[in-house]
Structure 1
Amino acid sequence: MSPLSALAAVFVTLTVVGMPLFAAVGLTTILALYLIDIPFTLMAQTGYSSLTPFPLLTIPLFVLAGRLMEVGGMAERMISVATSLVGAYRGSLGLVTCFACMLFAALSGSGPATTAAIGSVTIPAMQREGYSVPFAAAIAASAGALGSLIPPSNLMIIYGLVSETSIPRLFLAGIVPGIIITVMLMLTTYAIAVRRGYGGSGEPFSWGPFRKAFWDGKWAVGAPLIILGGIYGGVFTPTEAASVAVFYALFVGVFVYGQLTVKKVIESLRFTALLTGILILLTPTLAFGQLSAFYDIPSAVKEGITSLTTNVYLVMILIGIFYIIIGTFMESLAQIILFTAVFLPLVTSLGVDPVLFGVFTVITCEIGFLTPPLGGNLNVASRISGVTIEQISVAVLPYIVAYILGMLLLIFLPDVATLLPDMVYGQARY
């Protein structure tokens, strides 16, 4: 057995027996270092360098800002704004959940955090209105995944660091696909709600309630405008924008809405620590990525795929299928770090914009949030709703189809993602 085959066997075995991913990757990397006689200090050096990039601060700061906005009353007011817009239609609470998740995604940068913030309010409300509980949980889980696509996105930050792609360009590239997928999720919700007879008074939209809800929630609605407007207006960097978001959330929660207490701030810090603890994956996965370069795995993958086809559409579809399968049991962070270095050289050689590939990668990760056994968003929705992951997994299938359609749209109409960044920053040269 070749060293590469032995390493693959060890990694798969450790993963299958249930070892935490950071430990499985770390042990496999240590074994690889031993086999090829590279000093173990590589792990320590990689550990230090992996945590030094300044933009990494953006991730815990945006998660903290999103949590503070949730417990400080801003998420509740966003739901009120969404309700005033779509609350009268069939499946109204489901539509509100999708729309509110899109709004809150522009604050949190995280799929599980968005699911928790909006789902904790809307899932019980949908249950009281007679929705099937697995269906209500599936709506929150699938719409919550938008937190990783609509800027500011934590996964896009990681992709930008790994691929050395402009993070502001990635943020802009996620806006239009995020809106399109939101519409797809709302159409799916509406179709199912009509068939099952869920919710909706049928009253026409009225500007009066909307103006009132918008005025009451102006501080909440203004948050993404300040954060994203500051980034694209050149006022501050994404990392500085995350810091501004934290202070904005503290100010509004304490002095405007008066709902943010010391206890809630401490709980928010604890939530942030738990959610961003996944960054422990950075060291072993980056070291593993360096070893993949040593074994020239990217070139082998490129030769293997191009020997089958050089059609860029087919190549992207094959990569998408691989990402969706691997996302069922691998954390999105590790997936991006491990496989971006493998597939990015291949797709760029076929003329694919790295920014487009970043958005494509994030969408496949969102599908991973919705597929067991890992299914991060499924776990969050399960805890909120009290139903099993298996029940939610069945109910979420139509929404996975919506995400797959969004992925295919990117493949065949790449301008959907690249148009905005090219308009704002000019067409990049790679």
Structure 2
Amino acid sequence: MIWLVVLLFVLFFLRIPIAFALGITSLVGLLLSDTDLVVIAQKSFSGIDSFTLVAIPLFVLAGEIMTVGGISKRLVNFAELLVGHLPAGLALVAVLACTFFSAISGSAIADAAAIGGILIPAMIAQGYDRRFASTLVASASTIGPVIPPSIPMILYGVMASVSIGDLFLAGVTPGILMAVGLMAYVYYVGKKQNIRGREKMASRKEIMVGLKDAFLALLLPVIIIGGFRSGIFTATESGVIAVVYALIIGVFVYKELTIKMLPKVLLESAVSSATILFVIANATLFTWLLSYHDIPDQLGDLVTSISSAPWVTLLLINVVLLIAGTFIDTISALTIFTPLFLPVATTAGVDPVHLGIIITVNLTIGMITPPLGVCLFVTSAIAKVNLAQMVRPLLPQLLILLVILVLVTYWPNLSLFLPHLVGGK
């Protein structure tokens, strides 16, 4: 079955779209294994036949509404009031604003587009290097899928039969740690290069006015997590609440979202959602084919033959995911590797919730790692810089995120203490 994986990678390098590459590889494997082709329809459909997965298009729609509804602008303004006076103030604002928006959108690409569209031109106008501005927003946008609500965590929760509420809580501390690490780096650069922020620190009154303006946007993740943990609503119902909440804020409170804008918003979210679900369907078929040929068991035996120590297992998982994340998108990689690594990790004594956070952080780092690096493509287009020019300023930011990944991997309580605290464990 190694040749199937080789074929998949060949199709990736030929730049065949991920979903089609997975589908073609699966079809070839089925044809050569003399399996009834009705499996294609059965397994592909079973991959998306989940009520919980309805939350994904709902959160995508909520993110689109928030992007055009004036929410990102208010979060940027509030972040600027908090840290704009510090060295490299505008760069700090970029990281903090991405963190705020992460708690609303659940998507790294949405973060990069919404916050980058506002702050990258502003940073360039203030004299920041285009490459630095572009890579910083891309790096900060990786916080999006880690801090709840998170689209990858919803998918992992469905595939691993893990509480999505626990996953959301487990992502809070690693996400904040990623933000703090990037902000510390920016502050160091600002001090070293004498990059000044706003001349005057915002007054308490200005901060309170800014908080009032952004409060309703910041309240959404509290409502979602609180509703989850209290059992008021499910993951899917939380997606509905997010959409309705975003509509109310955008149309009636901020009054920047008009009825005429809704068809475009609905179309863009429908295209994004269809792409994600198509990838999930084909990836489910591919992972079934791997399971049919006992690949997960063989992988487990291979890992055990190398070492039975949990830290070695986690190291191997990290290495594979970091490499895969450079050329496979997050949703595809998550759908492929979760069924492969979950039994291996649980055998080694790794908590499934902890594994979900490890996988999510790994794959979000892949979103800023060439050659795929989709967040880099988004921010480089805004900054009008070549992707190759971004590699050098990206390296220290990437190193910070890798250090945090190591902490998340080998310090389980960093992720698990919140779910345990709230769950009373």
Superposition TM-score, scaled by structure 2 size: 0.96
Report the equivalent of 2:145.
148
* CA shift for structure 1 position 212: 1.4
**1:90–1:202 contact (8 Å) kept in structure 2:** no
List structure 1 segments (4+ residues) > 3 angstroms apart after TM superposition.
Answer: 201-206
Q: Hey, what's the Cα distance between the residues in 2 that align with 1:196 and 1:323?
A: 35
Alignment length (residue pairs)? 424
Looking at structure 2, the residues matched to 10 and 412 of structure 1 have their Cα atoms a distance apart, in angstroms, of: 34
Task: Give the C-alpha shift of residue 217 in structure 1.
Answer: 2.1
CA contact (8 A) 1:43 1:283 kept: no
**Residues 403-418 of structure 1 mapped to structure 2, 5 A cutoff:** 403-418=401-416
Shift of the alpha carbon at 1:263?
A: 3.5
Partner of 1:425: 423
Partner of 1:72: 69
Root-mean-square deviation (Å): 1.5
CA distance in 1, matches of 2:158, 2:297: 21
2:376 matches 1:384: no
Given that 1:367 and 1:400 are in contact with CA atoms closer than 8 Å, whether structure 2 keeps it comes out as: yes
Q: Which amino acid aligns with 2:3?
A: A
Give the CA deviation at 1:89: 0.2
226, 243, 248: which one aligns with 2:245: 248
Matched, 1:106 2:90: no
Distance 2:167 2:282 in 1: 25
- AA matched with 2:324: I
Q: Secondary structure at the match of 1:19?
A: coil
Partner of 1:326: 324
Contact 1:89 1:203 in 2 (8 A): no
Is 1:260–2:252 an aligned residue pair? no
Q: For 1:91-133, what per-residue CA distance to the aligned partner results, in whole angstroms no more than 9, with x for missing partners?
A: 1111111111111111111110111111111111111111111
Which amino acid in the other structure matches residue 72 of structure 1?
A: G
Of stretches 89-98 and 306-315 in structure 1, the one that deviates more from structure 2 is: 306-315
1:154-233 matched pairs, under 5 angstroms: 154-201=151-198, 203-204=200-201, 206-233=203-230
Give the match for residue 307 of structure 1.
305
Query: What is the distance in 2 between the residues matched to 1:244 and 1:6?
Result: 45
Matched, 1:46 2:43: yes
Q: State the one-letter code of the partner of 1:288.
A: F
1:302-334: CA deviations, max 9, x gaps? 121221222212221221111111111111111
- Asked if 1 retains the 8 angstrom alpha-carbon contact of 2:104 and 2:218, the reply is no
Corresponding residue of 1:402: 400
User: Aligned-pair distance for 1:199?
Assistant: 3.4
TM-score normalised by L of structure 1: 0.95
Whole-Å Cα distance in 2 between the matches of residues 279 and 134 of structure 1? Answer: 33
TM-superposed CA distance for 1:271, in Å, is 2.7
Structure 2 Cα separation of the partners of residues 239 and 198 of structure 1: 45
Residue 409 of structure 1: how far off its partner (Å): 0.4
Amino acid of the structure 2 residue aligned with 1:340: T
State the alpha-carbon separation in 2 of the partners of residues 9 and 36 from structure 1. 17
Matched, 1:293 2:257: no
Gap regions ≥5 residues in structure 1: none
Which residue among 366, 369, 381 is the counterpart of 2:367? 369
Say whether the 8 Å CA contact 2:104–2:217 is kept in structure 1: no
Distance 1:418 1:186 in 2: 24
Residue of structure 1 equivalent to 2:126 = 129
Deviation (angstroms), 1:38 = 0.9
Give the superposition deviation at 1:343.
1.2
1:268/1:393 CA distance change after superposition, 3 Å: farther
Residue matched to 2:337: 339
Contact 1:355 1:418 in 2 (8 A): yes
**CA-CA distance at 1:205 after TM superposition:** 5.6
- Pair 261,204 (structure 1): closer, same or farther in 2 beyond 3 Å: closer
Deviates more, 1:49-58 or 1:368-377: 49-58
Q: One-letter code of the match for 1:294?
A: Y
5+ residue gaps, structure 2? none
* Equivalent residue runs for 1:345-356 within 5 Å: 345-356=343-354
Deviates more, 1:7-16 or 1:313-322: 7-16
Aligned-partner Cα distance in 2 for 1:327–1:220? 31
- The amino acid across from 1:305 in the alignment is V
What is the match of residue 60 of structure 1?
57
Q: How much identity, in percent, do the aligned residues show?
A: 37
1:92: which partner in 2? 89
C-alpha deviation, 1:75, in angstroms: 1.3
